[in-house]
């Protein structure tokens, strides 16, 4: 199976200009790129979808370029929006460019002997251009009629209008493709399916200016089986930066994947072979309650993004919370992230610690103190995985993990946290 067939099997092809010609071109190493605009301090899971496709091309022997848009990030793409983007400061964008360059570098091989990856910044070739040069040399090749027909632009015009700043984004992105074609012999641009109009405009610019041809391939915007947006939770986007989405929360996101989505997500994100995924699909269909496939997915993607050590720590934390490991072995950062989403209550370090009954009731896990007492009587009360047998029991400050946290458990599954402040 060639690379394009593999991508199709994984559901990673939305549109292609000339698939037959592209398959022929890919019989030899080519140079290709994907662009990432720095609109936040971190990439998110939607970006990871296309970044991993770029990784697949490198593993197949091709030359990947990751473009971080220091120029286009200052302008903003109107795609998928019904209102004007807020323009970020130059200083913010510069900082985000550096952060995203570092993130991208974790997924590509820059030391490969034959096809090392490259990271570029489009500000390097955009900033030296004067406005007059840009309008004369690049702008003259664009038809306003065609630009107006782009779906995102047409939608914005219907919604009330679009600024010239965002309207010009298509020209800037097209210029990127032209410059990479000139500098790196880059002949393929990848992107999300919402970027199709911009990418095709770049192909047209290469044809007009260089009398040459290139290729475009877009990747579907990933959605869950229920139609909801992928990579979003009640708390917001799932980020690749561990300071914005902790490794524990990241692992749990994948572990909580709906049964209907887990095989599809394995195909999209995993580097397992077709045979391995087919075997896991068979296992999942036979016993979905085992959730082995969910754990395989969570483990592989968390290791890919955060490393094997972080994955081992979060798995240990998940087990320890439910009495299957030693809570005292968890470091404070891992423990804090594991407890972040739990019902909780706080206790001042200067006050006497309330009883277990009072603490559980304060977290809201039970609706009254009498209900908390019944939990003890029924033998389902725990503090840091140690059984509580007395209704009068109150933990000492020495029992707080890392001097800060205590974990209340009701039965096998209901957890809550107490934090000393």
Domains of the chain: 3-219 (3.40.50.620), 223-334 (1.10.240.10), 342-421 (3.10.290.10)
For residue 80, what pLDDT is reported?
Answer: 59
Give the CA radius of gyration of the chain: 26
For residue 79, what pLDDT is reported?
Answer: 64
- CA 90 from chain center: how many Å? 24
- pTM higher than 0.85: yes
For residue 242, what pLDDT is reported?
Answer: 93
DSSP 62: -
For residue 81, what pLDDT is reported?
Answer: 62
For residue 151, what pLDDT is reported?
Answer: 77
Spatial separation of the C-alpha atoms in residues 269 and 308, rounded to whole Å? 17
For residue 390, what pLDDT is reported?
Answer: 94
DSSP 350: T
Spatial separation of the C-alpha atoms in residues 175 and 38, rounded to whole Å? 18
49 — phi, psi (to 5°)?
Answer: -55, -50
Q: Please list the rounded mean pLDDT of every run of 10 residues in the chain (421 residues).
A: 94 95 97 95 95 98 96 80 77 94 94 95 95 92 84 78 85 96 98 92 96 97 86 83 93 93 96 95 88 94 96 91 87 90 91 94 94 95 94 93 94 92 90
Nearest to 37 by CA among 73, 71, 88, 86: 73
Residue with tokens 């394995």: 266
For residue 340, what pLDDT is reported?
Answer: 87
Residue with tokens 């641009």: 189
Residue 171 near residue 138, CB atoms below 8 Å: yes
CB atoms within 10 A of CB 248: 27
Element (H, E) at 170: helix 169-184
């Amino acid at each position: 199976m060639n690379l394009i067939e593999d991508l199709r099997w994984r559901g990673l092809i939305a549109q292609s200009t000339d698939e037959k010609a592209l398959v022929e071109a890919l019989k030899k190493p080519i140079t290709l790129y994907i662009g990432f605009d720095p609109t936040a301090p971190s990439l998110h899971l939607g970006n990871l979808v296309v970044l991993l496709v770029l990784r697949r091309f490198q593993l197949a022997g091709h030359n990947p370029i990751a473009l971080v848009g220091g120029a286009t990030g200052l302008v903003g793409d109107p795609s998928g929006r019904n209102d004007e983007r807020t323009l970020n400061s130059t200083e913010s964008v510069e900082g985000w460019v550096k952060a995203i360059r570092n993130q991208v570098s974790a997924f590509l091989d820059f030391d490969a002997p034959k096809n090392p990856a490259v990271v570029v910044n489009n500000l390097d070739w955009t900033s030296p251009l004067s406005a007059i040069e840009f309008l004369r040399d690049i702008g003259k090749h664009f038809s306003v009629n065609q630009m107006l027909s782009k779906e995102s632009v047409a939608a914005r015009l219907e919604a009330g209008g679009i600024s010239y700043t965002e309207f010009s984004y298509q020209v800037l992105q097209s210029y990127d493709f032209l410059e990479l074609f000139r500098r790196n012999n880059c002949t393929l641009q990848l992107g999300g399916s919402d970027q199709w109009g911009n990418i095709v405009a770049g192909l047209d610019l290469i044809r007009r200016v260089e009398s040459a041809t290139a290729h475009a391939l877009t990747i579907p915007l990933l959605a869950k089986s229920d139609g909801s947006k992928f990579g979003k939770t009640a708390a917001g986007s799932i980020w690749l930066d561990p300071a914005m989405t902790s490794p524990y929360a990241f692992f749990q996101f994948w572990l909580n994947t709906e049964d209907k989505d887990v095989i599809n997500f394995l195909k999209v994100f995993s580097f397992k072979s077709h045979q391995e995924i087919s075997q896991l699909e068979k296992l999942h269909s036979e016993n979905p309650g085992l959730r082995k496939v969910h754990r395989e997915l969570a483990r592989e993607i968390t290791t890919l993004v955060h490393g094997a050590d972080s994955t081992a720590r979060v798995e240990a934390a998940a087990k320890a919370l439910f009495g299957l490991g030693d809570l005292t072995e968890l470091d404070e950062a891992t423990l804090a992230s594991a407890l972040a989403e739990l019902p909780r209550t706080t206790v001042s370090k200067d006050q006497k610690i309330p009883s277990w009954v009072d603490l559980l009731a304060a977290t809201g896990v039970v609706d009254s103190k009498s209900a908390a007492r019944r939990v003890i009587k029924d033998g389902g009360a725990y503090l840091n995985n140690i059984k509580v047998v007395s209704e009068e029991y109150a933990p000492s400050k020495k029992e707080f993990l890392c001097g800060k946290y205590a974990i209340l458990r009701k039965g096998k599954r209901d957890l809550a946290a107490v934090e000393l402040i």
